[in-house]
Amino acid sequence: MGAGSPGTNIIWALALISTLSLIHPSEGDRTGMSRRDAFLSKESVLDMAPSSYDDQYKGCTEAMEAEIPTLFQYEYSSNKDFAEAWDSATFRWEERKGKMVVPPGFKDQYAIAIFAYTSSGPLHRIFNEAVRQAGQSRQYYLTNFNFKVLHYYLTRALQMLDAVESPTCHKVFRGIKGVRFKSEPRKPVRFGQFTSSSKDDQSALSFGEDTFFSIHTCYGVNIRNFSFFPSEEEVLIPPFEKFKVTDFSTMSRKNIITLQSVEKSSVYN
């Protein structure tokens, strides 16, 4: 499991629950995938996102499943944004699950986590901001990352859906407003967060054109059936997918980046 293995991290986190305090970032709403595009700078370099918490939970899912219920109670009671999104997602899943076919062993919590992530409140933004920073150190993960449950459930959901998905790779697009990402051909990069994309280029363009990505992903998963916005044809890319930049160009002050999936790349595994 590598640096800061999640089984150990969760045990320490449970021990620290009584002393942890939750810091609420500024809130905001959105409609559709644009909610997941919260980057602070106008220009940003696309790199390997070295501070990302990118755990795949290899070899420790049983330990995690045993510890998660206690941690869930803490994060649910401490984090209003998480609790509200979770409640809304639970209601939506109860409406849909009788009509869905899911992989064997796919738990309700996995589906609810995806619905919560795609909900219209601020959870997605706050969560992704936290994911991009939580891997900077074990201590930071333990004391500052208040989304351990959501990260685990989302990761497991994508892994289980990906295992039965056909085709296994997707051509997708991602449009961003307000940030122009820069990169270089042949450079290895990761998004370092759970990254929303669309199979429909026009849908992706509607969310922004300052940076436009054309992405070949082999670990992103089609979550249309688990989304509050199924018409977006969303494919969700995990933090640990590594890409190679195959093309970078600028046109009318818009940056266009083409990415090709290479492999999984995790510090925390």
Q: Which residues are catalytic?
A: 174, 196, 234
Distance CA 38, CA 205 (A): 16
Those residues with Cβ within 8 angstroms of residue 259's Cβ, 6 or more apart along the chain or in another chain: 189, 213, 214, 215, 216, 217, 243, 244, 245, 246
- Which helix (H) or strand (E) covers residue 213, if one does? strand 211-217
Contact assessment for residue 67 and residue 14, using Cβ atoms and an 8 Å cutoff = yes
Token duo for residue 242: 């590594």
Contact indicator for 230, 100 with CB cutoff of 8 Å: no
Say if CB 240 and CB 132 are below 8 A apart.
no
Q: Does residue 222 contact residue 243 with C-beta atoms inside 8 Å?
A: no
User: Alpha helices, DSSP H only, in 51-167?
Assistant: 61-78, 80-96, 108-117, 123-134, 138-144, 148-164
User: Does residue 204 contact residue 212 with C-beta atoms inside 8 Å?
Assistant: yes
Angle (CA) 70 141 28, round 5°: 85
